[in-house]
Amino acid sequence: MILALTAKKKIGFINGKIVEPNPESPLYEDWLSCNTMVISWMINSMHVDVSSSIMYCQTASEMWLELQKLFSQGSGPKIYNLQKGISNISQNQMTVIEYFTRFKKIRDQLLNLEPLPKCTCGAIKTLSASHDKTYAMRFLMGLNENLETIRTQILI
């Protein structure tokens, strides 16, 4: 939703940058039209069970806040489940491409929840390289045994 609203230059309706003008303002009609359009997009992109619980919100911003309340949880449980998932994932019956895709999806979600710190001292390059090496090792650990030769070559 964020990508779609950003692409259509309507993200301000949910992040609070585009505020509701006074009903007497000449901008009110345009704001109301755009707000209604954003609400419509949001409702139409949701499962009916979700949309029915928030469809009476008056503004897109209010709807977005309700969705955040409804679906947000602390990142602790998410991080725990993702760490558990990346620790337990293995290739099994998947092709290497399928395994890599699933592994990368979990890794990207973890990096989104636990981004590397911002720094200007240059140490981030070392930390990032170490982080990448750790994930590469986890990936290699999950490869099937018949790929042992390739795994050894990569490690060397």
**Percent of the chain's residues with pLDDT above 70:** 98
Domain count, the chain: 2
Residues 113 and 143 placed together within one structural domain of the fold: yes
Cβ-based burial of 42 (10 A; exposed 0-12, middle 13-18, buried ≥19): buried
Residues 61 and 79 placed together within one structural domain of the fold: no
59 CB neighbour count, 10 Å cutoff = 20
- Does 71 score more than 80 pLDDT? no
Q: Which of 31, 33, 30, 56 is nearest to 43 (CA)?
A: 56
What pLDDT sits at residue 74?
67
100: domain range? 75-155
What pLDDT sits at residue 96?
93
Residues 65 and 94 placed together within one structural domain of the fold: no
Residues 79 and 149 placed together within one structural domain of the fold: yes
Residues 84 and 32 placed together within one structural domain of the fold: no
What pLDDT sits at residue 121?
83
44 CB neighbour count, 10 Å cutoff = 8
Entry pTM: 0.57
Residues 28 and 54 placed together within one structural domain of the fold: yes
Residues 57 and 111 placed together within one structural domain of the fold: no
Q: What is the mean pLDDT of residues 1-13?
A: 92
